[in-house]
Structure 1
Amino acid sequence: MLTPDEALYALLCKYLLKEADSNEQRWVNTWLQANAEHPVLLASLDKLLRTVPGEVVKGGMDTEMAWKVLSERMELGERSGGEVSRDRGEGDPNGMSDMVDREGVGTAKTRSWWMAAAAAVFLLISVGGWYIIHQNERQINYDGAQLVKLEDGTSIQLDPAAQLQVLPGFGKKDRKVILKGKATFDVTTDASHPFIIDLGNQVITVLGTRFSVDNSNQLRVFIHSGKIKVTRRQDSVILTAGMLLEEDTSKQHYQVGAHITDAETRAVVFKDTPLREVLQTINVLYHVNVTADAALLELPVSGTYTGEPVKNVLDAIAYATNANVIINGADFELRPQD
């Protein structure tokens, strides 16, 4: 069990590593204002963590022996200082003894400060080493809009309502996190440690890529680059760059569109793409249901569209395939021209 001092320095380590939650940050800020020496100690800890992380991890410092050595040195310094003060004060007709006394008091205060500082350094090395060794054995939580940088180099941009949990042991056998809400991932490639995103009833396995995930209501995943695998029960789908996946909760299956350069702006590029694939992408991107006559489905379609209304896109495709757009309520159908 940590002593109160060890608990304090463990919290300060957490604060400096930017892993403290809002309550812990407020507590540390209050602690910093309570005493002028506190910012000095925090700066010392910050320097220690930045300059000697390897030594701290190798550590193994015997803090009990360090305290013994420290106390012996301080006792020797006190004895030497006391003899000097007495020698300089004897037979002083000009009142120099008062000055010596004041110097003695100043020296004692300085010595006390350095004793506290030295003690803090020993404690920082001990607790800092414990913290660095064990920090990846605990769960770390992130809430709200922020850019999260993980120790493997992966960066995750969270939306305001998103929640991310980095599970204990991250980076040992795998790199596993739990996501609720929407986030954009830029995952560092590491074939020996797969990056796994747990979405509750679905799992995403990442091979090194940049992609966006929206797990707020129904799952929506867009791949900017690279490749991922989305798994639900016994089903799995491989997604590559330019693909958009949406979960159809009513039919309990995935819908996947391709040839997308930006899902947010509905930017697509078709180059001799079969109409079958084009309509599948439009269905996913615009959340509509578009069907076509079987005679049209294999016709090649080329075109670039960004942010166009779905009716404009369908009119352009119909013109290229010599078809008509038929509107049936909220649905659309392409039929060959007579």
Structure 2
Amino acid sequence: MDEILIYKYLTRQTSQEEERALLAWLEASSENKQLFFDIEAIWKLKSDFAVKSQSLGLYNSLVNMNERIDKVEADNNVAKHFARKKMIYWWGSIAAAIFIGVLFLTNYVISSHAPFMYSYTNLLPDSVKQVTLKDGSVVWLGTNATIAYSDEYMGKERHVKLKGLAFFEVEKDSSHPFIVETETFRVKVLGTSFAVNSDNNNHKGEAVLLKGSVQFENKAGENIVKLHPGQQVLYSEKLKSLEINEIDAKTYTLWRFHLVSLQNASITEIINSIEQAYKVQILIDSSDLKAHKYNFYYKDCNSLNDALEKLFYLTGKRAKIIH
């Protein structure tokens, strides 16, 4: 099944024949249902379709099926929800790493009495690497990000060091606080989901909280601010500045699933996003679209043509690649 048909369904552009085809495809296997749910779940983060007002019997049957899928998948955690795709990405990363020799796991001893240190680095461009820690906490590393921890990780504190961009899903353990340390700041939690981005060259840092609560600290461990879900903190050690913003944390952290979600975006913002993701220049006749706002998503691990096809079904305009 082409994802374009799913996208057309989510944007209410399918014909009755296409809806029948989609329904048959969903009933064919559980894997098809999961793929549909993956796409639908992301769309539902920022889109609200009034499907209950539809009178078409087949359409309602499809909606009821979606609700059953939602109920089953809601019992699974987010890690299981995306397990199939993550395994593909993980094995792909391992194979590429063996071939080019850029992905490595290092154990070393600083001295005869020092603990072992484990270091994971993602050097593959435009990729995300998943790492599972000893306590079951999961970390997604962006390109050029590194996480390191010692074999004393499960001691008094669960302490990790980070360079670059990472997303954390921390297992709750009140007796062992989880601390993310960078060269500029620290983030301390008990169990939660959050993203951290450290810019060591400019002594800047950022944290985004998806759920739970975190304590943002300076590098000396002194508390600066406590974040609540949906908040972003921007910190500059040089300027001694701190900025807290209310954001859509779900959309902001979708990068770990290779998903780009744009909410209430102009055609210019959408084009700019696609151009940056694929490093191209795009030409489109948008003169009559400038007053419109769109909800748009695409997977940056898919082809450029896939993103442009979704754009066509949303706007009715064909875009051309000029560079």
How does the TM-score come out when normalised to structure 1? 0.38
Structure number, greater radius of gyration = 1
Higher helix share: 1
Instruction: Normalising by structure 2, report the TM-score.
Output: 0.39
Q: Which fold has the larger relative contact order, with Cα–Cα distance below 8 Å and residues 6 or more apart in sequence?
A: 2
